[in-house]
Amino acid sequence: MIQRIQTLFLALAAIALIAMAFYPVINITEFTTVQSDSLETDYYSLTVTGFADPSNDSAPQMNSLTFVPMAILALMMLVFIVYAISRYKQRLHQLKLVKICIFLNIILVAGIFLNYPKLFTDSQIRMEIGSGAYFTLISLVLLVVANRYILKDEKLVRSADRLR
């Protein structure tokens, strides 16, 4: 049934992925050295939808397509989660979809926390993990819990189907 607890966890995971689009994943600050003084010159953030820059006159020193793998993974997970919610009658199929989502989410978390901070080796640029990156961790936890409850339901149904 659609009112099962794993459906709630899957819906919350989808909401966490959607919320990730509204918060910066990485905050980037560029510095300029003028006569041995370090001055903050530009501040912008990387989101799932692109770069957010409060000032229009500066351009980030990153490739403009840096956010594309993150956006593709987040969109694929969102589609798989919504499809998994609609497959509530087919628990084994739903279980496979959730496992695929967990795998994609692990790739996304590894990309955000391990790959993006290493994009710059320049000492003039400081990168910090933004609040949007933590929504991927929340989504991962919710997907694992949903996976556990789907397995629990499947075991319950299989035990009831046994002839005694």
pLDDT digits (tens, 9 = 90+) for 49-103: 777 666 665 555 556 667 788 889 999 999 999 999 998 888 899 999 999 999 9
What CATH code would you report for 5-161? Answer: 1.20.140
**What's the pLDDT at 122?**
60
* Higher pLDDT pick, 11 / 122: 11
Res. 45: pLDDT tops 70: yes
134 vs 33: CA distance, rounded Å: 32
Q: What does pLDDT average to over the chain? A: 82
Residue 32's beta-bridge partner residues? Answer: 39
**What's the pLDDT at 130?**
85
**What's the pLDDT at 160?**
81
Count the neighbouring beta carbons within 10 Å of the beta carbon of residue 100. Answer: 16
Supply the DSSP symbol for 17. H
Domain definitions of the chain by residue range: 5-161
**What's the pLDDT at 46?**
77
Tens digits of per-residue pLDDT, 1-12?
A: 567 888 999 999
* Higher pLDDT pick, 50 / 153: 153
**Helices (H), strands (E): how many in the chain?**
4, 4
Concatenating the DSSP letter of every residue in 58-124 gives ---SS-TTTTHHHHHHHHHHHHHHHHHHHTTT-HHHHHHHHHHHHHHHHHHHHIIIIIGGGS---TT
